[in-house]
Structure 1
Amino acid sequence: MAGTGGPLSRSGLRGRESELEELEALIASVAGTGSGGLALIQGEPGIGKTTLLAEAVSKAVAAGFSAGVGKADELHHIVPLSSLAASVLHGDRPLLSGDAFADLARNHDQRIWLVERLAEAIETRAGSVPVLIGLDDVQWADPLSRFALQQLPARLRSSPVLWLLTGRREPAGPAEEIVAAATGHLPTVTFSLGPLSGAAIAQLAGDTLGAAAGERVRGLLEGAGGNPFLAVEMLAGLRADEASDDLVPPGLVVGVRGRLRSLRPGTLRFLQMGAVLGRRFEFHAAAALCGQPAATLIPVLEEAVRAGLLDDDGDHLVFRHDLLRQAVYADIPPSARKALHREAARGLVAAGRQPIDAVPHILRGALPGDEEAVALLRQAADAVLAVTPGLAADLTTRALELVPSARPLRFAVGEQAILCLTRAGRNREALATGDRLLADRPPLEAFGRLQAALGGTLWNLDLASELRRRAEAALAMEGTAPEIEARLAGLRALAMSREHDLVAARAAGETALRAAGAVGDREAHVLALAGLGEIAQNAGENALALERFAALSALDSAFLPEEIVAHLHMDDFESGERLLLRATDAGATRQAMLLWAQGQHDLGRGRLDDADADFETMERLEDEVQVCVQQVNGRVIRSRLALLRGDPAAAREHLAAARERLAVKPNRGNTAAVRFLEAVHAEADGDIGRAVDRIRQVQRQGPFMRWRLLRDWVDCAIRTALRGADHELAGDLAAQAVAHAERNPAVPTATGIAAQALGLVKNDPELLEHSVRLLGASPRPLARAAAHADLGQALLAAGRRRRAVDALTRARDAFAESGAHAMAAQVRGPFEDAGASGRGAATGQRPVRGWGALTPSEEKIARLVAQGHTNRSAADLLVVSPHTVNTHLTSVFRKLSVNSRVQLANLVMALPDD
């Protein structure tokens, strides 16, 4: 402590020896195993968390770690990634250069993309040296840093990265969320620091006074309650006055606050201004709040530093402990605090700082009707919306609270709040906010804007009919701005895409597109193209859907996943793959939807293991950002994949999960998907009657749902109907397939499946043979395999064994190559009945553990990682997402019972040569 004889020897570690030993063991484990670890140090302010963290960091650095340590700040916890930035930009060898970090901040599009880039930087460093990342006072971490800390430890569990966090005890607080996210993925340990023992406090006194503490000192220290910081503060006062026999100043007995009373009034006032600015503040900013030239305050600064209250690092002044700042801050009258925070916010803005930097002061100082504060909150919300939509929603709702209901500004702020709440996935709150504003009878122009803002909310809530009703009600009113009318028209068309009359929907979409073009409004253009793309897709017009979605993607790259899937529907997998690669290189937004497109691509290509990993990763990403769009469909597909691969237990788990998610999002499409999956399971269980009933239910969901759901699986539905002797249903399904082929004559899969469907219904081997020829041009191996299997069965029934064996062999080999081992085994039965040899592609199941348990993709990734590749470089080589690589790698570690890349490399090196 400056001015009081220097820092106290080992002051914070008295009584913490056992915790330090555990931390040293964790440090050694991370360095020795090459896998990650996480430790959380919890306790009340002043209990010694920071000192224990510093000692652990010192031990880690001595053990060869590259360390970066930051500290979150109570008044600076808003700026996205500001807390974690300190950890990655500071230290002996910063994990990121300032320029590199600034580049991340410029180019990030959303949280998932940014976190992955941070992971890559940390992973690269950890490839050469173990890494420690520490964050003090995690309870004040900004939202984006908290999000990153919930993802990064698990993402980097296979690298030697040690996470050390300190925080106050807060049930369900940020620290607990981070530990919960890491638990089960890497070793975690939580230290709860309690009061020091009397013996430890006595040792502190000896460290400070250089002699055994007398009775008077021991009595005084009882007032510290075992808190080492308070004890040290009291002892510092004793040491400063040790030459005197006077009694200790009585203010010290009650803690830190009494120490402040010995300061000159000007020094205390300067400290109070600094306390308003935060634990870390700039000298000139505090001088401005004092209303004095900086030069006149140098003496008071010197006194504050001599008293051990402030440290001066050359750029900023820092309160030596949070308790010091809090004690100073608490002595400011509440009304004065508000006024000072308002002045601080104005000063930051006047100095050219970003609005987000002023937000903490606005939140503490703004009063109802303060339009300047409202404007700053709105600007800050716009700045953070891309990476922390939840924070943007909080800022705009706070701004809305500050605007009196009688002011027109309320409706403009409310519109922004609705949009931010919707972006954050808080759709119910957005709808409630909008309805409250509409109940205030806004002007006609504001009424239209609010209804347009609620469009995305209602769409996300699957309230298409309500969306159409509201859009039409707003369009019927005069006084709406032309661009808002165009947006409402686009929303109306989008809502109509979910209805039976798609001809009327298309007409509405074309009208909306013309209106958007006439007014030149980008948002209206996006809505119109999105509606037209949905309408074309629901009508089964693949070429038109591709045209619409390609135009939409060109206008807004966030819709690239829709364009990719549209290419796949045209059997154009080459273009789809090229766009997937471009999206990965460019860091596209909507990472979860991009994984959906990747999964559709891998499924179509017959890469079942990859597809399963894609859909698993997609669901995880949707959960992370709390925007769940494709989880029902993802689970439906994964359940079918599990059945194809011969894992009925996993298939049932996915069915149960699909039903759970359907209860949350029960739209017609999701309902049809789950009913179809139930039909598949019922047939697998031998309940043909229930299977047929479920398929009938799918048919009742509407014409567009029929072909959209059964486009690639209509042959499966027809077989089920035929087994249930429902020839009318089978014929209806075949007619749908034919109609779909007529709409898409240039798509080999569509024309081939139509011929296959007719061949099944008519039991006609010639038609089935024709379907095999047509599907020969299809890029979908599972569709080709199914057609060969149907042909082989028909030829076998007709007594044409030689040709039957050839068709069944092709089906079996294609199924097995794709990983559809259960289907390969089903084909093998009639194959052997035909008297043919069972030799050929293996159809057996993989073991559960060991190298033989790895899928081909997992084996490739395991070898690449063993060679030293990062997730990103492995993903680039395999043309997949780094997120999917991470999912595969998790499976590899589980199957091989390893915990780190080092262990994986050792295992791969020990494998016999092929």
Structure 2
Amino acid sequence: MAGSGGPLSRSGLRGREAELGQLRALIDSVARTGSGALALIRGEPGIGKTTLLTEAVARAAAAGFSVGLGKADELHHIVPLSSLATCVLHGDRPLLSGDALVDLARRHDQRIRLVERLAEVIEERAGGIPVLIALDDAQWADPLSRFALQQLPGRLRTSPVLWLLTERQGVDGPAAEIAAAVRDELPVLTVSLGPLSGAAIGRLADDTLGAAADERVRELLEGAGGNPFLAVEMLAGLRTADASDEPVPPGLVTGVRGRLSSLHPDTLRFLQMGAVLGRGFGFHDAAALCGRPSVALIPALEEAVRAGLLDDDGEQLLFRHDLLRQAVYVDIPPSARKALHREAAALLVAAGHQPIDVVSHILRGAQPGDGEAVALLRRAADDVLPVTPGLAADLVARALELVPTARPLWFTVGEQAIGCLTRAGRNREALATGDRLMACRPPVEMVGRLQAALGGTLWNMDLADELRRRTEGALALGGVAPEVGARLAALRALALSRAHDLGPARAAGEEALRAAVATGDREAHVQALFALGEIALNAGENAAARERFTALSAVDPVFAPEEIVAHQHMDDFATSERLLARAADGAGGTREVLLLWAQGQQHLGLGRLDDADADFLTMERLEDEVQVHVQQVNGRVIRSRIALLRGDREAAREHLAEARRRLAVKPNPGNTAAVRFLEAVHAEADGDVRLAVDRIRRVQEQGPFLRWRLLRTWVPSAVRMALGGGDRELAEDLAAQAEAHAARNPAVPSAAGVAARALGGVRDDLALLERSVALLRAAPRPLIRAAACADLGRALLAAGRKAEAVTALTEAQATFAASGAPAAAAFLQRDLRAAGAGGRRGAGGQRPVQGWEALTASEKKVARLVAEGHSNRSAAELLVVSPHTVNTHLTSAFRKLAVNSRVQLANLVMGLSED
């Protein structure tokens, strides 16, 4: 057979020998190399995409692949993961059971976590045999399947997994986007199917009609335009036609109509109801839509199968090709279609289907004022909100259109729409929706609910003053329910956290927390604790912030990253490490992106620059994937500083440029100050002291809360710049800031050490610099200690105490080198020479860019674990990091080692000695 390398025997493959050869070569390559690949088959409807895909699947199965074959459906393109589910649930050895998939979706409430779990399942299977996952008609893939397919091929590129997609040419589908997204990460083959040649069409005619395929038939087949499906349908009509000389009109719809005209009216009606339900449909559902008992329609079903219009797979009926369904469907009058879709939705819900399963029918059939349709759309939106918030927002927006304006239900649905749009990151739409609702003068109680719903929107948009104005206005109106009043009070406190005077903010937060506890409203409770945590951070009160965020995480585990970072601010990295390990196990559905931010801060604080850089890179990738950008500016700022410490000026400048670009998109005070400080760092490195001082001064002018949040550990660098530029007043202001921060945080060793270093720099006080180093020895932050040792060493050198200077400078150099900061270490070489010491040999050496020694310590650990057979998940558990970070390390290792698969990596590692 063709699938096992023999001669082509199936007529559907006439003229496709070259394309099939390309697919066979790719299948063989994946099996041989052990690395992933993706193939995309594109072409017009009926051109042979499905036939070619089916033959490729047969070839892969014969070659020993574990195969998952699925098909997206036009009327199920909304149901989350429905398209990809058909791939992982079917086949001789399904990747997942139906119960396992349902459990997966129920227990993991975020897209990133859900996709990661799917990746683990596929990776585990691919550890034993190569895997093929094929999806037909990808243009109708649902949003969550699209998201998964954009992530999974790259995530699994080091495993023998072949992805095979088909998509209609000219349709704005996801397959081409998926291929473009992974083209730089794994081999991508695009097979564009054009019309068959006249010779191939002739062979099709010979296959079907044999001797009857005379010259007249061949002339008629020219009307198929080289489309094999149209040709086969016309040939089928010729084969069953009367032996008359009447010409057969070309064209699929005409041909199908000719075949339908001979059917019993009950059969035609049954087919039309099936066409409304979709390409695949239940016999009982179609009978119900016909208004007939199922038993009465068995003859109609039998006739439709005999006519070659339907297939029966034992579970459902399927139109043999979607073009057949469409040909039947277009003959139903449009007004009747709308009514039938609405009736189909009601029947399916009555039969026990979930709201999301009938949404496609609702969208096609609902009329304004349809309360049941509105209720179904709202329920469906609630169901899909955790994994596809954008879809949820679209569904509620449609529900809002169906409700008469200014009715009570309109405001209620609008409140839900604001929440969904905000969750989807579509904040401008959410605000516009809220303003449209407010313009219609809702009841007083609803005014409060709407303004409370807009609270998260305004906060995300950095509109703190507008948030304060709206919440105060709603509270002044009165008439709101107690729980809504508590939410508004908490939001007002949050808005006040950005004020210059935080006393009123703290009082408002405490009052809001009391109101939340009294009403028992969880949302108000969460919001009040978050506000109090923000107020404490902005006041530089780390212990109070830790208390608030710990309480918040207990109420809602989604805020675990905030608790983790709060412990880091207290120099309690041991507790934050335990919390990171617990969060990595998936407790509470922690937000993956912010968890990576917390993990990056952990590594940065502990002087693990390579790991921190990988964390922030991974975080940025995940934010791009979910299209919700929170920490990308700050991530780039930190990565730029890391690059400078490494001595990679080009990368540092690239990060600065990207930080500026992203600042233009999200220009809030915090992001602005962070970029200005980074500009100061770069200006100092470039020798432009005046520009450095200007940027530091701008940071100080941004707002008082930034003094505590941005320059917490960076104040001594700012002091050095101010002194270098001759601005002693600015330097003294910065030192006073550090002293105030230490006074607010007496239990934080690094705060006291940083304050002593800053003040010692301003006063040129050797005793203070010595005290700074002594204090920082009790803190777990090696980079801060190394910088203090460097300052002390230079001061000792200036005082003529060379032996002591060598000790301090050598410690600083060794610490910088051990942390992955060779440029910072090399910078001390001149001072060491001046002190009469040669410095640490190789302290400033750069890592090579290729080969095993180019790998960071973490990349080597990951490479060894993967070579031993560990999955990304098991390696992450051993290293106490995110699986996404493991993937980042592995990607970098593969690039540096010039390998393409886990098998190649294992072979390489086996030849190395332990280091």
1:638 corresponds to which residue?
Answer: 639
Counterparts of 2:250 and 2:183 in 1: how far apart (Å)? 45
2:883 corresponds to which residue?
Answer: 882
Q: Give the match's secondary structure for 1:80.
A: coil
1:55 corresponds to which residue?
Answer: 55
C-alpha distance after superposition, 1:320-353 (max 9, x if no partner): 1001111111111111111111111111111121
2:268 corresponds to which residue?
Answer: 268
Percent identity of paired positions between Structure 1 and Structure 2: 76
Deviation at 1:249, TM superposition (A): 5.3
1:443 corresponds to which residue?
Answer: 443
Deviation at 1:240, TM superposition (A): 3.1
Counterparts of 1:688 and 1:840 in 2: how far apart (Å)? 31
8 A contact 1:167–1:175 mirrored in 2: yes
Counterparts of 1:256 and 1:198 in 2: how far apart (Å)? 23
Range moving further from structure 2, 228-237 or 319-328: 228-237
Deviation at 1:92, TM superposition (A): 2.2
1:820 corresponds to which residue?
Answer: 821
Counterparts of 1:516 and 1:850 in 2: how far apart (Å)? 58
Counterparts of 1:669 and 1:880 in 2: how far apart (Å)? 27
Counterparts of 1:675 and 1:839 in 2: how far apart (Å)? 34
8 A contact 1:113–1:589 mirrored in 2: no
Q: Indicate how the Cα distance of structure 1 residues 773 and 501 shifts in structure 2: closer, same or farther if over 3 A, else same.
A: same
C-alpha distance after superposition, 1:164-190 (max 9, x if no partner): 000112465311211111110101121
Deviation at 1:31, TM superposition (A): 1.1
2:181 corresponds to which residue?
Answer: 181
Q: Give the match's secondary structure for 1:710.
A: coil
1:623 corresponds to which residue?
Answer: 624
Q: Give the match's secondary structure for 2:189.
A: strand
Q: Residue type matched to 1:437 in 2?
A: L
2:89 corresponds to which residue?
Answer: 89
Q: Residue type matched to 1:268 in 2?
A: L
8 A contact 1:252–1:259 mirrored in 2: no
Range moving further from structure 2, 75-84 or 216-225: 216-225
1:830 corresponds to which residue?
Answer: 831
8 A contact 2:810–2:840 mirrored in 1: no
Q: Give the match's secondary structure for 2:454.
A: helix
Q: Residue type matched to 2:809 in 1?
A: L
Counterparts of 2:847 and 2:546 in 1: how far apart (Å)? 39
Counterparts of 1:452 and 1:120 in 2: how far apart (Å)? 40
C-alpha distance after superposition, 1:854-880 (max 9, x if no partner): 111111111111111111111111111
Q: Give the match's secondary structure for 2:129.
A: coil
C-alpha distance after superposition, 1:745-783 (max 9, x if no partner): 001111111111111111111111111111111011101
2:308 corresponds to which residue?
Answer: 308
Deviation at 1:910, TM superposition (A): 2.5
8 A contact 1:683–1:720 mirrored in 2: yes
2:472 corresponds to which residue?
Answer: 472
C-alpha distance after superposition, 1:563-610 (max 9, x if no partner): 000000001111101111111112533100000000000000100000
Counterparts of 1:300 and 1:219 in 2: how far apart (Å)? 35
Counterparts of 2:913 and 2:413 in 1: how far apart (Å)? 67
8 A contact 1:500–1:703 mirrored in 2: yes
1:4 corresponds to which residue?
Answer: none
Counterparts of 1:913 and 1:800 in 2: how far apart (Å)? 42
1:3 corresponds to which residue?
Answer: none
Deviation at 1:715, TM superposition (A): 1.1
Counterparts of 2:675 and 2:598 in 1: how far apart (Å)? 20
C-alpha distance after superposition, 1:692-716 (max 9, x if no partner): 1110000001222022111111111
Q: Indicate how the Cα distance of structure 1 residues 435 and 913 shifts in structure 2: closer, same or farther if over 3 A, else same.
A: closer
1:873 corresponds to which residue?
Answer: 874
CA RMSD of aligned residues (A): 1.4
Q: Residue type matched to 1:86 in 2?
A: T
1:222 corresponds to which residue?
Answer: 222
Q: Give the match's secondary structure for 1:184.
A: coil
Q: Give the match's secondary structure for 1:838.
A: coil
1:130 corresponds to which residue?
Answer: 130
8 A contact 1:635–1:654 mirrored in 2: yes
Deviation at 1:255, TM superposition (A): 3.5
Say how many residue pairs are matched: 906
C-alpha distance after superposition, 1:638-667 (max 9, x if no partner): 000100111110000000000001101111
Deviation at 1:827, TM superposition (A): 1.6
Taking the TM superposition and a 5 Å limit, the aligned residue runs for 1:207-246 are 207-211=207-211, 213-241=213-241, 244-245=243-244
In the alignment, does 2:361 pair up with 1:361? yes
C-alpha distance after superposition, 1:785-839 (max 9, x if no partner): 1111111111111001111111111100000000011111112220121111323
Q: Residue type matched to 1:626 in 2?
A: Q
2:604 corresponds to which residue?
Answer: 603
In the alignment, does 2:707 pair up with 1:710? no
Q: Residue type matched to 1:60 in 2?
A: A
Q: Residue type matched to 2:539 in 1?
A: A
8 A contact 2:419–2:453 mirrored in 1: yes
Counterparts of 2:518 and 2:169 in 1: how far apart (Å)? 58
Deviation at 1:245, TM superposition (A): 4.9
Q: Indicate how the Cα distance of structure 1 residues 509 and 170 shifts in structure 2: closer, same or farther if over 3 A, else same.
A: farther
Counterparts of 2:65 and 2:173 in 1: how far apart (Å)? 29
Q: Give the match's secondary structure for 1:165.
A: strand
1:564 corresponds to which residue?
Answer: 564
1:677 corresponds to which residue?
Answer: 678
Taking the TM superposition and a 5 Å limit, the aligned residue runs for 1:187-206 are 187-206=187-206
Q: Indicate how the Cα distance of structure 1 residues 251 and 896 shifts in structure 2: closer, same or farther if over 3 A, else same.
A: closer
Q: Give the match's secondary structure for 2:477.
A: coil
Give the TM-score taking structure 2 as reference length. Answer: 0.98
Q: Give the match's secondary structure for 1:476.
A: helix
Q: Indicate how the Cα distance of structure 1 residues 257 and 245 shifts in structure 2: closer, same or farther if over 3 A, else same.
A: closer
Counterparts of 1:820 and 1:134 in 2: how far apart (Å)? 46
Q: Give the match's secondary structure for 1:75.
A: helix
Unaligned runs of 5+ in 1: 1-7
Counterparts of 1:837 and 1:820 in 2: how far apart (Å)? 19
Deviation at 1:146, TM superposition (A): 0.4
Deviation at 1:842, TM superposition (A): 2.9
Counterparts of 2:890 and 2:651 in 1: how far apart (Å)? 19
Q: Indicate how the Cα distance of structure 1 residues 500 and 213 shifts in structure 2: closer, same or farther if over 3 A, else same.
A: same
Counterparts of 2:137 and 2:325 in 1: how far apart (Å)? 14
Q: Give the match's secondary structure for 1:86.
A: helix
Deviation at 1:617, TM superposition (A): 0.6
Give the TM-score taking structure 1 as reference length. Answer: 0.98
Q: Give the match's secondary structure for 1:275.
A: helix
8 A contact 2:753–2:775 mirrored in 1: yes
C-alpha distance after superposition, 1:219-253 (max 9, x if no partner): 221221211111111112223348x3564655877
Deviation at 1:906, TM superposition (A): 1.7
In the alignment, does 2:109 pair up with 1:109? yes
Counterparts of 1:822 and 1:51 in 2: how far apart (Å)? 59
Taking the TM superposition and a 5 Å limit, the aligned residue runs for 1:196-595 are 196-211=196-211, 213-241=213-241, 244-245=243-244, 247=246, 250=249, 254-586=254-586, 588-595=589-596
Counterparts of 1:450 and 1:255 in 2: how far apart (Å)? 56
Counterparts of 1:817 and 1:407 in 2: how far apart (Å)? 66
C-alpha distance after superposition, 1:76-133 (max 9, x if no partner): 1111101000101111211122232222122111000000000011111111111100
C-alpha distance after superposition, 1:853-910 (max 9, x if no partner): 1111111111111111111111111111000011111111111111111111122122
Q: Give the match's secondary structure for 1:158.
A: coil
8 A contact 1:817–1:841 mirrored in 2: no
Counterparts of 2:245 and 2:87 in 1: how far apart (Å)? 46
C-alpha distance after superposition, 1:134-170 (max 9, x if no partner): 0000011111000000000111111111000001124
1:5 corresponds to which residue?
Answer: none
Q: Indicate how the Cα distance of structure 1 residues 104 and 889 shifts in structure 2: closer, same or farther if over 3 A, else same.
A: same
Q: Give the match's secondary structure for 1:164.
A: strand
8 A contact 2:406–2:440 mirrored in 1: no
Counterparts of 1:696 and 1:359 in 2: how far apart (Å)? 56
Counterparts of 1:207 and 1:904 in 2: how far apart (Å)? 49
Counterparts of 1:211 and 1:566 in 2: how far apart (Å)? 83
Q: Give the match's secondary structure for 1:669.
A: helix
Counterparts of 2:655 and 2:172 in 1: how far apart (Å)? 29
Range moving further from structure 2, 322-331 or 901-910: 901-910
C-alpha distance after superposition, 1:686-743 (max 9, x if no partner): 0001101110000001222022111111111111111112221111111111100101
Counterparts of 1:749 and 1:565 in 2: how far apart (Å)? 15
2:4 corresponds to which residue?
Answer: none
Q: Give the match's secondary structure for 1:69.
A: strand
